[in-house]
Structure 1
């Protein structure tokens, strides 16, 4: 990671915007417009307000700007599609050609769960032949604390919420109140700090003749449009001729806006080598605040991080006073895994603005993350009453009913989502869909109908 040594010195009323411009220029993160409240929350966590006259290196603020939503085997539909459509055919072709090598990069790997899941997925596919293959596994993130966590390989029970005890037992051993990746597996991944928003991509081994798979999921939504386009161009340029760059499906709209076409893979969006259309040249410098997509929705709640600990909010920080303040506080609490507090803040926001939709949606996501599907469904019922045109609500409800084993209700909600989408323009962004288009949500609904019950 590269940051300047210039201290943060907030100045009068536009200090927050100046800070957002510096963050965009150096880190590529978007804290303009509606995300200013998130920036204020990060400053509070770092014991600063925009009225402070103290100084703070930007690298010190970084841990409070980034979030760590990840866990092992996240999005099973995506891993299934990766195995069946990408990895198994690729391994077969390489074996027939006598070329037993594979090169994979997990960009924005957070605390390492995705990278280890990739490794263990390959171990399951190759079995005893694993040691006969030359595997290059690179995992990077902008946050040094996340990389240190990944290298240590220690995780609490919450990181295994999608995993079976048998799967965990094959690759982890008990360590205190958590689990640690056994040493032979930890040594197979190279972890490194890297900023996707910078032009320096030397972290990618120049001896590697293109990566067969690059995962960069759930990170573009936090970047400025300029940083998004640059990162996509840099990553795609490092693909092997038959390689795939995999984003989250919700980021497909962002990729398309930057000129990169692809296809849905489970809950992912795959971009092939040199598949992008002609792209406009990026502007020479950040000129204006990054525009936000219509009806932005808060991301899913984030899992609690074991280390480093989150700094408490400064005593001088003003308490929430507006709907936006409570919503921002709820999102920050959810980011830290404080799901009960996040739910309470959502309720405060809903009292101030009972007809606004975002707090209901975040509350439903928070309850889902807290393994309270019935309570989440009750909130979705209220949201559907307030805004029956929301296709995301029955889509999420369908997933919740599937988890509860109620297939008939799940199918009813899935069909409802498809009905809401019927007749809408394919490229229209879905309200509360994190940049997802109508076409992409329709495809996900169709895929949801194919899930086993």
Structure 2
């Protein structure tokens, strides 16, 4: 695969970083400049920009108006979400926050509630929250005043949320009763039923822009998950301070587990809310310090209650998988570890020991505690999320694996192994188109990834695209020809280059059989 390279001087990269940080709150200074360049290269690929260098020059020195920001948003956000994406978080809120809060308000005769989904994407989280509230209120719902705000920086996402029309990809937990209750079929799509339409106020709002006041004051709940991981530590701390200032006295700010370390590094004292991290209006802000991690027994109880037990007899942390499409046994991709500081290193080692023993719930507990440690780099957070994704994938929980994988890719959109795992998960789910898209990104970032071309050839053949399959197979054979036959194929689970070359020849014969003599 031919890859377009761009010459980007340190000065040009610094100018691009300045623009991104100013308008979006993200910091790509120093060694993260390469990450910024990769993001823009991937966006250019999607926008079909043929002359990359002049385009980057234009971005660095143009005035970023609202239209240009919207064009660039896809490089820095992922619209990967679905209904009840984090069912555990909703269940925790119902039992530990919203349920008790409604009881107190009812007793005091104050039948009102204000909630904000910040970074709502295409609306699935906001609607899921509305459905939950109506379930909690039951027959009393008409006597309550509910103000539900949903905001996002991406105007295209908001337009889709306003339509309240969703495809099958928005429903991934096989909850047919949930979908039938809240949605009406329109052809191959599903629209939110009239009982819930028009009850959420969707607005465009940039959390990183400190010049604009928060759109909701006195909030009883703010959901802001998988958003702060984008921001620089300074901007994230500022956003946290403003969000906490928007809470009512009984209000709660819910972050993702990935963002626990961001909060503690900024000096805010929170607590674990299941597998999420929560702050209240009294979280306070002291000098930055390490996160206080819950007692091991309590944390284990929280996680094990939401995590299925390990499969009996499955002792290998990354077991072999027989891929019916590829026809090759492969393991999940290896994670290369970046150095971590001493306090967090203990959690990391505990996670590795637990994975080695096949104790997935305990491993995930340790990884969540690791993510809550202050001072982790983006690379370290990315690696932890990737391990969490793999731990869920090994237990065949594809939705949970996809969730953590998306978080990993948000932290490092140039992760070759992240997109490779995404391709394997998509293939395992039977989504060949998504697998091929992930492979395209994998091979764009690493044009020498031999096994990626072999999988691409097989999947293209399944789609009936013989010519494209032949081309991918040709590149695979060419790369193999440059290697020693006994050399091992990267991510090939011990398979040699000679063995893969013979598999290529077999595939070629299947695609182009010799005529009968």
Shared fold (TM-score, shorter chain, > 0.5): yes
Aligned to 1:51: 53
Pairwise CA distance, 1:73? 0.8
Q: Which residue, 246, 269, 282 being the options, matches 1:274?
A: 282
Q: How far apart, in 1, do the equivalents of 2:447 and 2:42 lie?
A: 21
Poorly superposed stretches of 4+, deviation over 4 Å: 53-56, 298-303, 323-337, 343-354
Unaligned runs of 5+ in 2: 1-5, 60-67, 289-375, 387-400, 405-412, 453-489, 495-517
Aligned to 1:338: 434
Q: TM-score, normalised by structure 2?
A: 0.55
Aligned to 2:93: 82
> Is 1:184 aligned to 2:280, yes or no?
no
1:221-249 CA deviation, whole Å, 9 max, x = no partner?
A: 12221221111111010000111000011
Inter-CA distance 222–330: structure 2 relative to 1 (3 Å threshold): farther
Aligned to 1:142: 153
Q: Which residue, 16, 23, 27 being the options, matches 2:24?
A: 27
1:113-167 CA deviation, whole Å, 9 max, x = no partner?
A: 0000000001111112111100010000010111111111011111111251111
Aligned to 2:82: 71
1:28-47 CA deviation, whole Å, 9 max, x = no partner?
A: 13445152322321233234
Pairwise CA distance, 1:13? 2.2
Inter-CA distance 329–74: structure 2 relative to 1 (3 Å threshold): closer
Inter-CA distance 101–294: structure 2 relative to 1 (3 Å threshold): same
Pairwise CA distance, 1:344? 7.0
User: Is residue 247–residue 270 contact of structure 1 (8 Å, CA) maintained in 2?
Assistant: yes
User: Is residue 41–residue 329 contact of structure 1 (8 Å, CA) maintained in 2?
Assistant: no
Secondary structure of 1:104 counterpart: strand
1:151-188 CA deviation, whole Å, 9 max, x = no partner?
A: 11011111111251111111111122110112331211
Q: How far apart, in 2, do the equivalents of 1:331 and 1:279 lie?
A: 39
Aligned to 2:369: none
Q: How far apart, in 1, do the equivalents of 2:240 and 2:415 lie?
A: 33
| Larger mean Cα displacement after TM superposition, 186-195 or 225-234 | 225-234
User: Is residue 45–residue 64 contact of structure 1 (8 Å, CA) maintained in 2?
Assistant: no
Inter-CA distance 246–12: structure 2 relative to 1 (3 Å threshold): closer
Matches for 1:188-267 after TM superposition, within 5 Å: 188-202=199-213, 204-205=215-216, 208=217, 210-267=218-275
> Is 1:296 aligned to 2:382, yes or no?
yes
Matches for 1:265-414 after TM superposition, within 5 Å: 265-278=273-286, 292=378, 294=380, 296-297=382-383, 301=402, 326=416, 338-343=434-439, 346=442
User: Is residue 266–residue 285 contact of structure 2 (8 Å, CA) maintained in 1?
Assistant: no
Aligned to 1:5: none
User: Is residue 78–residue 268 contact of structure 1 (8 Å, CA) maintained in 2?
Assistant: yes
1:316-369 CA deviation, whole Å, 9 max, x = no partner?
A: xxxxxxx96855876998999823432576589899589xxxx9xxxxxxxxxx
* Structure with the larger RCO, 1 or 2 (CA within 8 Å, 6+ apart): 1
Pairwise CA distance, 1:301? 5.0
Aligned to 2:310: none
Structure with the largest fraction of helix: 2
Inter-CA distance 129–330: structure 2 relative to 1 (3 Å threshold): same
Report the count of equivalent residues.
Answer: 319
Secondary structure of 1:184 counterpart: coil
Aligned to 1:152: 163
Inter-CA distance 331–194: structure 2 relative to 1 (3 Å threshold): farther
User: Is residue 83–residue 125 contact of structure 2 (8 Å, CA) maintained in 1?
Assistant: yes
Q: TM-score, normalised by structure 1?
A: 0.62
Larger radius of gyration: 2
